[in-house]
């Protein structure tokens, strides 16, 4: 066989042109212009001083956005699912019990992951447009005595936000660790890791942080850290927080090599954090509240309904909207994409066929964008009535 001839011909890869839509789904959201610049900065070696300084900057920024003094704060290589899997695999041993308080698709995934690790997983579901009361959660803890409780703060599949204030204190009465998904809530809504006694948390860059997906910040409380230090089981090598803490210098200058972190994603995350620090968290929370309140006022003028009845349960970053009878959700979403260059999303998990999802978060959380989307929804409701109903 000749080694200078290929048997598979080279494909033709053409340039693709398209109109970039305004990203108003439940994620990804558009990225900050400064972040686009940041990810074209030079590639760095994973063992050079410059990169270790970038990691220091990121850890400091993450302590601010999570509102924690914990040392065990870093970012996992991978999208938010990596953070989810890192928390579960590091903190819960096979045969231990994980209680999943479930409202949507993300906690279902956490339950799926946990059962793959041989963790005894108990799922307790609530009606899709509601959140848990602390009394309900305490009753579940008394009944199941789990080693850990998993709950999402913001649930982008249903558009709900769970009250977490006081939950950590309740969990700790029962010796339960509290694991929280803040992927679609952080930056948009108040979150206080230390004050709320949350033991482990993960988030993503692609939602209200307005960066590219692919790097997932995580943080662990001293309680969680103690569990990691005393555990007998081994998590997967790539997710091992003990090894990653050495790479991220969580306890001083260990500066070890674990894997090659992606420099563009490190630069991007660092820039996202700089944007939040510049604006400050309280101002960012207030901006998200004002934008969404304006958007909701506009929606009330239309023949639409909110999926989530209670005001305090509504997620500020993602609104779930029930369309009038007869509208095809897929056609509705495609119409907005094709005619108005706006990307919203159909339902996911429990909301498939029930609601469409509109995200206004991060750089996109502005009154102007709220009006652009509300205007387009108004036109789409009219256009589709005329043509296809």
Interface with ligand PLP by CB under 6 A: which range of 12-20, 39-47, 181-189, 275-283? 181-189
Min. distance of Cβ 205 from ligand PLP in angstroms? 8
355 near 128, Cβ under 8 Å?
no
Is 364 a residue that touches ligand PLP (CB under 6 A)?
Answer: no
In the DSSP assignment, the letter for residue 32 is: P
CA distance 215 to 265: 7
Among 184, 200, 224, 272, which residue interacts with ligand PLP (rule: CB under 6 A)? 184
Interface with ligand PLP by CB under 6 A: which range of 79-87, 272-280, 353-361, 369-377? 79-87
CA distance 79 to 46: 20
Nearer to ligand PLP, 29 or 71 (CB): 29
Coil/strand/helix, residue 354: coil
Residues in region 153-172 near ligand PLP by CB under 6 A:
154-156
Min. distance of Cβ 253 from ligand PLP in angstroms? 31
β 342-343/22-23 pair status: parallel
Nearer to ligand PLP, 91 or 110 (CB): 110
CA distance 39 to 26: 23
Min. distance of Cβ 186 from ligand PLP in angstroms? 10
Output the CA–CA distances (angstroms, integers) from residue 353 to 192, 302, 325, 328, in the order listed: 34, 19, 11, 8
194 near 180, Cβ under 8 Å?
no
Is 239 a residue that touches ligand PLP (CB under 6 A)?
Answer: no
Among the listed residues 173, 225, 232, 231, the one whose alpha carbon sits nearest the alpha carbon of residue 199: 225
Residues in region 96-135 near ligand PLP by CB under 6 A:
106
Min. distance of Cβ 238 from ligand PLP in angstroms? 15
Nearer to ligand PLP, 91 or 327 (CB): 91
315 near 137, Cβ under 8 Å?
no
Is 152 a residue that touches ligand PLP (CB under 6 A)?
Answer: yes
Which residues lie below 8 Å from residue 253, measured CB to CB, with a gap of 6+? Answer: 52
Interface with ligand PLP by CB under 6 A: which range of 73-81, 116-124, 250-258, 263-271? 73-81
Among 162, 204, 221, 247, which residue interacts with ligand PLP (rule: CB under 6 A)? 204
Is 187 a residue that touches ligand PLP (CB under 6 A)?
Answer: no
Nearer to ligand PLP, 150 or 295 (CB): 150
For 374: left if phi > 0, alpha if psi spans -120 to 50, otherwise beta; the answer is alpha
Among 29, 68, 77, 79, which residue interacts with ligand PLP (rule: CB under 6 A)? 79
Which residues lie below 8 Å from residue 292, measured CB to CB, with a gap of 6+? Answer: 316, 317, 319, 360, 365, 370
CA distance 181 to 152: 4
Among 206, 221, 284, 369, which residue interacts with ligand PLP (rule: CB under 6 A)? 206
- For residues 27 to 46, the per-residue mask of contacts with ligand PLP, x marking binding by CB under 6 A and - elsewhere, is x-------------------
Is 272 a residue that touches ligand PLP (CB under 6 A)?
Answer: no
The rounded Cα 85 to chain-centroid distance in angstroms is: 13
Is 203 a residue that touches ligand PLP (CB under 6 A)?
Answer: no
Min. distance of Cβ 21 from ligand PLP in angstroms? 18
Interface with ligand PLP by CB under 6 A: which range of 42-50, 177-185, 191-199, 293-301? 177-185
Is 355 a residue that touches ligand PLP (CB under 6 A)?
Answer: no
Which residues lie below 8 Å from residue 28, measured CB to CB, with a gap of 6+? Answer: 206, 207, 212, 213
CA distance 59 to 40: 21
Among 30, 96, 181, 275, which residue interacts with ligand PLP (rule: CB under 6 A)? 181
Q: Could you give the dihedral angle defined by the CA atoms of residues 234, 59, 148 and 92, in that order, rounded to the nearest 10 degrees?
A: 0
Residues in contact with ligand PLP by CB under 6 A are 26-27, 79-81, 106, 152, 154-156, 181, 183-184, 204, 206, 213
């Amino acid at each position: 066989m000749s080694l200078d001839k290929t048997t598979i011909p080279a494909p033709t890869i053409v340039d693709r042109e398209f109109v970039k839509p305004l990203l108003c789904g439940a994620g990804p959201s558009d990225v900050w212009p400064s972040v686009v610049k940041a990810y074209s900065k030079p590639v760095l070696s994973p063992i050079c001083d410059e990169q270790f300084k970038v990691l220091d900057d990121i850890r400091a920024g993450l302590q601010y956005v999570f509102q924690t003094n914990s040392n065990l704060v870093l970012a996992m290589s991978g999208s938010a699912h990596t953070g989810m899997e890192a928390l579960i695999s590091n903190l819960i041993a096979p045969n231990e019990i994980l209680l999943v308080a479930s409202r949507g698709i993300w906690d279902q995934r956490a339950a799926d992951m946990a059962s793959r690790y041989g963790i005894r997983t108990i799922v307790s579901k609530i009606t899709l447009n509601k959140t848990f009361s602390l009394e309900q959660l305490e009753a579940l803890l008394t009944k199941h005595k789990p080693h850990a409780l998993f709950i999402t703060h913001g649930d982008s599949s249903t558009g709900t936000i769970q009250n977490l204030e006081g939950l950590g204190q309740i969990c700790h009465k029962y010796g339960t660790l509290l694991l929280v998904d803040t992927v679609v809530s952080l930056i948009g809504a108040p979150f206080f890791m230390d004050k709320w006694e949350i033991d482990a948390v993960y988030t993503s860059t692609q939602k209200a942080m307005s960066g590219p997906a692919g790097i997932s910040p995580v943080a662990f409380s001293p309680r969680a850290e103690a569990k990691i230090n005393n555990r007998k089981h081994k998590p997967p090598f790539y997710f091992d927080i003990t090894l990653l803490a050495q790479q991220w210098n969580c306890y001083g200058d260990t500066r070890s090599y674990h894997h090659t972190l992606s420099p563009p994603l490190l630069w991007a995350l660092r820039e996202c954090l700089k944007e939040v620090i510049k604006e400050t968290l309280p101002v960012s929370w207030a901006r998200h509240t004002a934008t969404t309140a304006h958007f909701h006022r506009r929606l009330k003028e239309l023949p639409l309904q909110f999926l989530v009845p209670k005001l305090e349960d509504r997620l500020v970053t993602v609104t779930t909207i029930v369309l009038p009878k007869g509208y095809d959700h897929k056609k509705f979403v495609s119409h907005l994409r094709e005619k108005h260059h706006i990307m919203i999303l159909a339902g996911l998990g429990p909301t498939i066929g029930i609601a469409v999802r509109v995200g206004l978060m991060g750089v996109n959380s502005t009154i102007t964008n709220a009006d652009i989307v509300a205007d387009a929804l108004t036109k789409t409701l009219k256009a589709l009535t005329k043509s296809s109903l």
